[in-house]
Structure 1
């Protein structure tokens, strides 16, 4: 019987070496991704965190009281900004209701520090007065903003928001498809985090994000 030298018996086969290298590469990639996530989101916010110093793009138009209104008018408070419209069948009312649950979850002394701001993507149909009735149904701290149609698309794009009109059957009969994220702006006017619509049912986690941003 021929004996195999010990050095040959323990030599890894080519496929074993390839597998080991692949596993090491995956581990390194995961470690790098985790490190990047911690550096970008050191406070462990639920949503997707923005890099420090990311300013909120300007939003200016007519408020739900018929007077000029700008996002900068809310400096000193946290603002949950989202884009929607009054004829929205589900996303927009669900979002407003979810944000109010978050506000009610905050300690009483912080509840007035969170504003929900609905920016309409349907300025042709949504009037300031109608916006006021709509948003105040959900919260006394909710506000509505109408940006002129000529400025709206650029203003929305600056936030990474898109929208389009579809199923047009008449000048005032159509649907609006739009981005559904909610953007949290801090007291200094910095974008801190964006929540996906699917996260809005995580009331306690989102309230924790708000409290972190309010500190």
Structure 2
């Protein structure tokens, strides 16, 4: 969506995203059909380029206990997703698809793609739990512990719906009767934040891989 302005970005993202359905039995949000809507910009997702949407200034503890600055890898591509490990559907599916797309790239290109998963359930997603869950998809994925005012501010800045709901204690049955409803959106920031692509649902592995290649540019 070339030529989009800041106000239009907010309106478009807010209108298209809705709530992702991570709660058991919930219906997917209205964004599921907007990916690949026929733009001629070469991207399967929605391109936010004029002005671009930069990586948020977010510093959170990572699974290794160190503070991680989301803006530190601005010379490469960063895919950002908010969720929680006990999500029964969108979160594991999205992480599996992004992992598969990253593996389709040459090794040198893979090294320039950072995938960041921010948990919105810090009570259950301790660093060891989050690390073990992410390792099921890709050991290079970065896991950050969010679910606080800082992440809520970033969700607002990115025009994403705030995470709502609850998850049952870890001792209860898997997923229990509750869950978080949250935005099932992947933001992919290109090098130097010159281009940003939003995937709001229904994206295939091939589409993710194609957009990663396009953002990375010539080898």
TM-score in terms of structure 2 length: 0.72
- Following the alignment from structure 1 to structure 2, what is the Cα–Cα distance between the partners of residues 170 and 64? 20
- Following the alignment from structure 1 to structure 2, what is the Cα–Cα distance between the partners of residues 39 and 136? 38
* Greater CA drift, 160-169 or 107-116: 160-169
- Following the alignment from structure 1 to structure 2, what is the Cα–Cα distance between the partners of residues 92 and 148? 15
Corresponding residue for 2:208? 206
Corresponding residue for 1:186? 190
Q: Which has the larger radius of gyration?
A: 1
Q: Which one has the bigger helix percentage?
A: 1
Alpha-carbon shift at residue 94 of structure 1 (Å): 0.5
Given the superposition, is the C-alpha separation of residues 75 and 164 from structure 1 closer, same or farther in structure 2, using an over 3 Å criterion? closer
Corresponding residue for 1:31? none
Given the superposition, is the C-alpha separation of residues 168 and 57 from structure 1 closer, same or farther in structure 2, using an over 3 Å criterion? closer
Given the superposition, is the C-alpha separation of residues 168 and 111 from structure 1 closer, same or farther in structure 2, using an over 3 Å criterion? closer
Q: Secondary structure at the residue paired with 1:123?
A: coil
Corresponding residue for 2:22? none
Corresponding residue for 2:71? 72
Please tell me the root mean square deviation across aligned C-alpha atoms, in Å: 2.4
- Following the alignment from structure 1 to structure 2, what is the Cα–Cα distance between the partners of residues 63 and 126? 12
- Is the counterpart of residue 89 in structure 1 residue 85 in structure 2? no
- Following the alignment from structure 2 to structure 1, what is the Cα–Cα distance between the partners of residues 47 and 74? 20
Contact conserved, 1:61 with 1:146, CA < 8 A, in 2?
Answer: yes
Corresponding residue for 2:18? none
- Following the alignment from structure 1 to structure 2, what is the Cα–Cα distance between the partners of residues 151 and 132? 21
Given the superposition, is the C-alpha separation of residues 109 and 131 from structure 1 closer, same or farther in structure 2, using an over 3 Å criterion? same
Q: Secondary structure at the residue paired with 1:197?
A: coil
Given the superposition, is the C-alpha separation of residues 167 and 39 from structure 1 closer, same or farther in structure 2, using an over 3 Å criterion? closer
Q: Secondary structure at the residue paired with 2:100?
A: helix
Alpha-carbon shift at residue 179 of structure 1 (Å): 0.3
Runs of at least 5 residues in structure 1 that lack an aligned partner in the other structure:
1-36
TM-score in terms of structure 1 length: 0.73
Alpha-carbon shift at residue 133 of structure 1 (Å): 1.3
Q: Secondary structure at the residue paired with 2:192?
A: coil
Contact conserved, 2:134 with 2:143, CA < 8 A, in 1?
Answer: yes
- Following the alignment from structure 1 to structure 2, what is the Cα–Cα distance between the partners of residues 100 and 168? 25
- Is the counterpart of residue 46 in structure 1 residue 50 in structure 2? no
- Following the alignment from structure 1 to structure 2, what is the Cα–Cα distance between the partners of residues 39 and 161? 21
Runs of at least 5 residues in structure 2 that lack an aligned partner in the other structure:
5-38
